[in-house]
Amino acid sequence: MNTNGQKMKVHIGRYVLILAVTASVILQQPELVTGQARVPAMFVLGDSLVDAGNNNFIQTLARANFLPYGIDLNFRPTGRFSNGLTFIDLLAQLLQIPSPPAFADPTTSGSRILQGVNYASAAAGILDESGFNYGGRFSLSQQMVNLETTLSQLRTMMSPQNFTDYLARSLVVLVFGSNDYINNYLMPNLYSSSIRYTPPVFANLLLSQYARQLLTLYGLGLRKIFIPGVAPLGCIPNQRARGVSPPDRCVDSVNQILGTFNQGLRSLVDQLNQRLPGAIYVYGNTYSAIGDILNNPAAYGFSVVDRACCGIGRNQGQITCLPGQNPCPNRSQYVFWDAFHPTQTANSILARRAFYGPPSDAYPVNVQQMTLLH
């Protein structure tokens, strides 16, 4: 075991920089809050929380292209891991742009890519090996390659100056980290990471890989990057179903190991904003937002926080939602749709907090403020 892991200071290799909050000036400009956000496109990289159907087109066990997934999208399963809309669909509505289509869909070409593309893939992680137990998936590194393919196509569709301006005003959203824990670190029977690394050292490994890709986005010309942290995974039905905590409690040991990653990601946002002129990286505090919902469910209209609407076994989380299974009828009262993913109702709350929220939700500015900067 690497004893360096006891140091809570986040090391990001050569990307360690002096921490600085660079957006205090931004936060002092109230007119930014009142305008209508304007982005020409949204590019999405991530995992099953934001997959729009990419995994429909690859050999994988991580699929959601069957009912009851999509039951609240007019009974249309699209590959989204939700009863309805994902965080990205709801964020696109707030931005007043179409939800970006899946990269792997053969129809995602030509003018369809002008308002953005979704590269997210269920089971994907920051590390290439995360999620291999599900079979095929587009990891973060592969999604970056796919993004560059799209940008090469877009470059041919507009003048150099227009292309530069288009990239600078577009929004990039990255949702990663969950699978590096659920389908890697927390699976010692399949992965050696928890034997080789203490939780802080593993978090810093993830952050160093993530930092490199976040720098690459800047090098490609993208300037507005939204990066949510990892939710309290110890509270999802899948982890509660392990039976290692009392029935009414989250698995605290799982939640505790996420602290270094989330704190480090917030610090990384500071570092990138300090180092990269014209960029605005924003950290989304998913952990706190979900925690608030779970601690105060009635305030948000929820009555069920500890089990899935669709699933089998303890907490309906031992086996996730299966084809043709009958889900709960009162879906808007459930925080979790299946063993791993929020309901559309919960996603809607997360999207609004990211878009309109204070710095405790989205730091140093919210998505609306961010998109109005140019």
Structure tokens at 133: 């137990």
User: Is it the case that residue 133 has pLDDT exceeding 50?
Assistant: yes
User: Is 139 a known active-site residue?
Assistant: no
Using CA atoms, how far residue 309 sits from 62, 335, 345, in Å, is 18, 8, 12
The catalytically annotated residue of 48, 130, 139, 208 is 48
The catalytically annotated residue of 89, 105, 306, 338 is 338
Triad 100, 365, 362: Cα angle to 5°:
70
**36 exposure class (CB count in 10 Å sphere: 0-12, 13-18, 19+):** exposed
User: Which CATH superfamily is 42-372 part of?
Assistant: SGNH hydrolase (3.40.50.1110)
Give 340's DSSP letter. Answer: S
User: Is it the case that residue 157 has pLDDT exceeding 60?
Assistant: yes
User: Is 338 a known active-site residue?
Assistant: yes
Every domain of the chain and the residues it spans: 42-372
User: Is it the case that residue 66 has pLDDT exceeding 60?
Assistant: yes
Cα–Cα distance between 364 and 173 in angstroms, integer? Answer: 15
pLDDT tens string 74-91? 999 999 999 999 999 999
The catalytically annotated residue of 130, 306, 341, 348 is 341
pLDDT tens string 238-292? 999 999 998 889 999 999 999 999 999 999 999 999 999 999 999 999 999 999 9
User: Is 89 a known active-site residue?
Assistant: no
- What's the pLDDT at 204? 98
Cα–Cα distance between 341 and 249 in angstroms, integer? Answer: 18
